[in-house]
Amino acid sequence: MRTRLIAATAIVLVLLIASLLMLGSGPVRVRITTTTSLYATGLLDYLGDRFRKDHPNVELDFIAVGSGEALRRAKQGDACMVLVHAPSLEKRYMEEGAIAEGHIFAYNYFIIAGPPSDPAKVKEAKSPGDAFKRIYEAAEMGKASFASRGDNSGTHVKELSVWRAAGLDPKGRPWYLETGSGMGATLLVANEKGAYVLSDIGTFLKYSKDGKVPDLVILFEGGDELLNIYSVYLVPSCDGEEAKYARAFADFVVRDARDLIAHYGISKYGQPLFHPAKDKLDWLRERWQVLAEG
């Protein structure tokens, strides 16, 4: 009887010590650098909340910056996982070994927005390059301006590629307003100044439906040239528990969150802000390669 009592007491003590150790260790913090569009639209918080239902001990620390800065911080070891949409930058950082195990998980499109009066007649444009030519010409005549993120983000990289394709360089022009800020802040500047702006459609729809940019409308959209591809990467220099759960969250985003991504935004904005990559993965990989090569 006494032996059984001692054994039972020992088991209780072991369980108590294990519980105390678990409580004392605290949550595992996973640092994730991300493009602002994924964060500003609320998608990452939404996915993070779902992920934490199965991993309550994990704290996801989203650091929302432009894609260029997100990748730079990962290279410095300031993140364990990266979510970005700048293929040409991603390719470079992969070649340097700063990021690895990339997967395309979602896509949407860029749009060109501007004042409803549309002094550059962007609505009549036949292509993104044609739209930018019209903006340039109208701006040179003092009839328009353009708000650029100017922050080496995925959106900024896309914008610069459109200017190059049009054979134009707006840098230094008085009407070219470089905000050095995220997509939301740049949209607010465009709204205030009555300027044209290139934006991912997700952030634009959120800001528009929330009444933050009442003086901006979509003037040009659609076509492969404005395709916006989102990818997730792991950081090889990351290790331990943080690396373990970074991989778990990456797997969740790529495989388990497809339906969540497909339906996100429909109830509030009338359409999804992003599309999961699952049904168009081969096509997206081909397009990503083209974009990566510039």
What is the arithmetic mean of pLDDT over 23-37? 83
Q: Is the dihedral of CA 167, 186, 111, 138 positive or negative?
A: negative
Question: Is the separation of the CB atoms in 216 and 186 below 8 Å?
Answer: no
Q: Is the pLDDT of residue 22 over 70?
A: no
Residue 33 CA, distance from chain mean position: 9
Supply the DSSP symbol for 224. G
Q: Is the pLDDT of residue 19 over 90?
A: no
**Torsion on CA atoms 168, 171, 172, 173, rounded to nearest 10:** 40
Question: Is the separation of the CB atoms in 108 and 228 below 8 Å?
Answer: yes
Q: Give the model's pLDDT for residue 294.
A: 73
Q: Which of 221, 204, 180, 175 is nearest to 269 (CA)?
A: 204
> How would CATH label the architecture of 8-108+228-292?
3-Layer(aba) Sandwich (3.40)
Could you tell me the two tokens for 179? 């905000």
Q: Which of 165, 168, 177 is nearest to 136 (CA)?
A: 168
Q: Which of 147, 150, 146 is nearest to 66 (CA)?
A: 150
Question: Is the separation of the CB atoms in 66 and 156 below 8 Å?
Answer: yes
Per-residue pLDDT band for 89 (boundaries 50, 70, 90) equals very high
What is the arithmetic mean of pLDDT over 24-38? 87
Per-residue pLDDT band for 5 (boundaries 50, 70, 90) equals very low
Burial of 245 (0-12, 13-18, 19+ CB in 10 A): buried
Candidates 3.30.930.10, 3.30.950.10, 3.40.50.720, 3.40.190.10; CATH matching 109-226? 3.40.190.10
- Maximal C-alpha separation, the chain: 98
Q: Is the dihedral of CA 128, 87, 164, 120 positive or negative?
A: positive
Beta carbons within 8 Å of 17's beta carbon, 6+ residues apart: none
Residues 116-145 pLDDT 10s: 999 999 999 999 999 999 999 999 999 999
Helix H or strand E segment including 276? strand 275-276
What is the C-alpha to C-alpha distance for residues 19 and 189, in angstroms, rounded to an integer? Answer: 52
Per-residue pLDDT band for 222 (boundaries 50, 70, 90) equals confident
Residues 181-194 pLDDT 10s: 999 999 999 999 99
8-108+228-292 and 109-226 have identical folds: yes
Mean pLDDT of the chain: 91
For the chain, the structural domain boundaries read 8-108+228-292, 109-226
What is the arithmetic mean of pLDDT over 241-245? 96
Q: Is the pLDDT of residue 95 over 80?
A: yes
Residues 266-289 pLDDT 10s: 998 889 999 999 989 999 999 999
Q: Give the model's pLDDT for residue 288.
A: 95
Q: Is the pLDDT of residue 2 over 80?
A: no
Q: Which of 251, 260, 261, 256 is nearest to 30 (CA)?
A: 251
**Torsion on CA atoms 37, 38, 39, 45, rounded to nearest 10:** 160
Q: Give the model's pLDDT for residue 26.
A: 75
